C-alpha cells in the first residue's frame, strides 16, 4: 500500500503554493505553521520535497539564506538616490560591503569600522533603513593599537546586493569605483571624513588636501573620480607616489564650500580647521586675462580696492562682496 504524503487534502497544494509563493514564507516558517495550515506537523525538509513534487518553483539557496537572516522585508525595495550617494561616500572611504567569498554577494551587508565610535555611528546613520547595529568595540588594545576599533553593520538585503554588484567587479570581485559613482556634496563629505586629510604648514603657507584612494586603479582615479570632481569645479591631480588625489590649492575653498566648513562630528573637527585666508577668493578666480589682473593690482596699490593679501603677500584675496565690487569696476 502506497505511503500517504505528509501534505494531502483537497486544498493542500493550493495552501502550500499560497504560503510559499504568494506570502513568501520560508519552508521553516511553513513548518512552524504546518498544523494550522495542513492539520498535522510537517518538517521543513518534507515541505521542500512537496514543493518539488508538485512542481512549485523553489528559491535558490542565496535567496533562501537571505530570507532566513534578514529582519527586513526582502520583497520590498527601500533604497533611494540619497541612500546610493551615502553608500558611495562610505565605499570611497572607510566603508565596505561584506558578503560570502565562496558565493559572491550572498548575504551582502554594509559595514563600517573605525577608531572613532562617533564616526562609525554617524557613517551608518545614513543607512538606518537597513537597520545597522550599534557601534561595538572590538580588538585588543596595546602599544601598536592604543584605541578600540568600533564596528557596525546592517542586515542583509537585496538592495545592498545590488550595490555590492556595482562596487565589486572584475577578476576576484575586487573593489572598484563604478562608472556611475555619485560624487555629490553628501558622498564627498563622507569620503573626506572617512579617508581624507588636510595639512597646513604655517611657516611656509603650504596647504595640502588629500583624498586617499586606497588601492583603486589608475583608471578609477584618472578616468572616473578626477573628471567627476572637476565637474564640481574642484581642480585636482593624481599623486602616483601615494596613489592619492590631491586637491589643488586654488580649489580648497571650492571643496569646503561644497561639503561645508563645519564637521558634523566632533572627532573630526581638526579636518575642518582651515586658515581663514584659504576661504577667500583669489584674484585668479575673478579676472580673465593679464590686462584685468594689472588693473586690479593698480586699484589695490592706489588704495581704491578693498581686499587682503595671503600670508607672504603673493596673492590678492577677496570676500564675496569685494569680488562683486571688483567685477563691477572692471566692467566700467
Q: Which residue has the cell 586617499?
A: 212
Q: State which H helix or E strand residue 196 sits in.
A: strand 196-201
89, pLDDT greater than 90: yes
**Listed range (1-10, 82-91, 130-139, 227-236) with the worst mean pLDDT:** 1-10
Percent of the chain with pLDDT over 70: 90
The pLDDT, as a whole number, for residue 2 is 45
Task: Determine the pLDDT at residue 65.
Answer: 55
Per residue in 27-60, pLDDT tens?
878 888 888 888 888 888 888 888 888 878 776 6
What confidence tier does 79 reach under pLDDT thresholds 50, 70, 90? very high
pTM beyond 0.85: the answer is no
Average pLDDT score over residue span 317-330: 88
In the predicted structure, residue 224 carries a pLDDT above the cut 90: yes
Distance from C-alpha of 12 to C-alpha of 10, rounded to nearest angstrom: 6
The strand pair at 149-153 and 96-98 is best described as: unpaired
**CA-closest candidate to residue 219, choices 211, 227, 231:** 227
**Residue matched to cell numbers 564616526:** 119
pLDDT at 318 exceeding the cut of 70: yes
Give the cell for residue 106.
550572498
Look at strands 96-98 and 281-282 and give their pairing: unpaired
Q: Read off the pLDDT of residues 195-216 as tens digits, 9 standing for 90 and up.
A: 999 998 877 778 899 999 978 9
For 121-162, write each residue's pLDDT tens digit: 999 999 999 999 999 987 666 666 667 789 999 998 999 999
Most confident range (mean pLDDT) of 4-13, 253-262, 322-331 is 253-262
Confidence grade of residue 8 (pLDDT, cut at 50, 70, 90)? low
* pLDDT for the residue numbered 262: 94
Q: How far apart are CA 120 and CA 153, in angstroms?
A: 10
Q: What's the confidence (pLDDT) of residue 3?
A: 44
Q: What percent of the chain has pLDDT over 90?
A: 43
Strand ranges (DSSP E) for 217-261? 236-239, 244-247
Q: Supply the pLDDT for residue 142.
A: 61
8 A C-beta contact, residue 50 and residue 6: yes
Instruction: Please tell me the predicted confidence (pLDDT) of residue 140.
Output: 64
Q: How far apart are CA 130 and CA 320, in angstroms?
A: 42
Order of strands across the sheet that contains 236-239: 196-201, 206-212, 244-247, 236-239
SS3 of residue 265 by DSSP: coil
Distance CA 77, CA 292 (A): 55
Distance CA 259, CA 268 (A): 14
Exposed / middle / buried, residue 277 (Cβ in 10 Å: 0-12, 13-18, 19+): middle
The overall average pLDDT reported for the chain is 86
Please, what is the Cα angle at 177 between 174 and 183, to 5 degrees?
Answer: 160
Separation between Cα atoms, residue 325 and residue 329, nearest integer Å: 6
Amino acid at each position: 500500500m502506497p505511503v500517504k504524503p505528509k501534505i494531502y487534502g483537497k486544498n493542500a497544494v493550493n495552501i502550500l503554493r499560497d504560503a510559499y509563493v504568494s506570502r513568501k514564507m520560508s519552508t521553516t516558517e511553513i513548518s512552524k505553521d504546518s498544523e494550522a495550515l495542513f492539520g498535522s506537523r510537517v518538517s521543513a525538509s518534507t515541505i521542500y520535497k512537496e514543493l518539488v513534487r508538485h512542481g512549485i518553483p523553489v528559491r535558490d539557496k542565496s535567496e533562501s539564506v537571505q530570507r532566513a537572516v534578514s529582519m527586513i522585508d526582502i520583497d520590498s525595495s527601500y533604497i533611494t538616490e540619497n541612500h546610493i550617494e551615502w553608500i558611495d561616500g562610505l565605499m570611497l572611504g572607510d566603508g565596505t560591503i561584506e558578503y560570502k567569498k565562496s558565493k559572491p554577494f550572498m548575504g551582502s551587508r554594509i559595514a563600517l569600522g573605525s577608531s572613532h565610535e562617533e564616526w562609525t555611528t554617524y557613517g551608518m546613520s545614513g543607512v538606518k533603513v537597513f537597520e545597522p547595529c550599534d557601534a561595538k568595540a572590538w580588538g585588543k588594545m596595546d602599544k601598536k593599537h592604543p584605541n578600540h576599533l568600533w564596528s557596525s553593520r546592517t542586515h542583509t538585503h537585496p538592495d545592498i546586493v545590488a550595490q555590492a554588484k556595482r562596487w565589486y567587479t572584475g577578476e576576484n570581485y575586487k573593489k572598484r569605483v563604478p562608472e556611475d559613482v555619485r560624487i555629490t556634496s553628501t558622498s564627498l563629505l563622507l569620503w573626506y571624513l572617512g579617508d581624507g586629510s588636510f595639512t597646513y604648514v604655517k611657516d611656509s603657507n603650504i596647504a595640502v588636501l588629500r583624498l586617499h584612494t586606497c588601492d583603486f586603479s589608475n583608471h578609477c582615479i584618472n578616468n572616473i573620480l578626477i573628471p567627476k570632481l572637476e565637474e564640481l569645479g574642484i581642480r585636482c591631480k593624481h599623486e602616483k607616489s601615494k596613489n592619492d588625489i590631491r586637491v589643488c590649492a586654488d580649489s580648497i575653498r571650492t571643496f569646503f564650500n561644497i561639503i561645508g566648513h563645519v564637521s558634523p562630528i566632533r572627532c573630526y573637527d581638526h579636518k575642518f580647521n582651515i586658515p581663514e585666508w584659504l576661504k577667500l577668493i583669489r584674484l585668479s578666480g575673478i579676472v580673465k586675462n593679464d590686462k584685468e589682473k594689472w588693473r586690479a593690482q593698480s586699484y589695490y596699490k592706489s588704495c581704491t580696492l578693498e581686499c587682503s593679501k595671503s600670508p607672504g603677500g603673493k596673492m590678492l584675496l577677496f570676500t564675496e562682496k569685494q569680488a562683486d565690487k571688483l567685477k563691477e569696476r572692471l566692467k566700467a
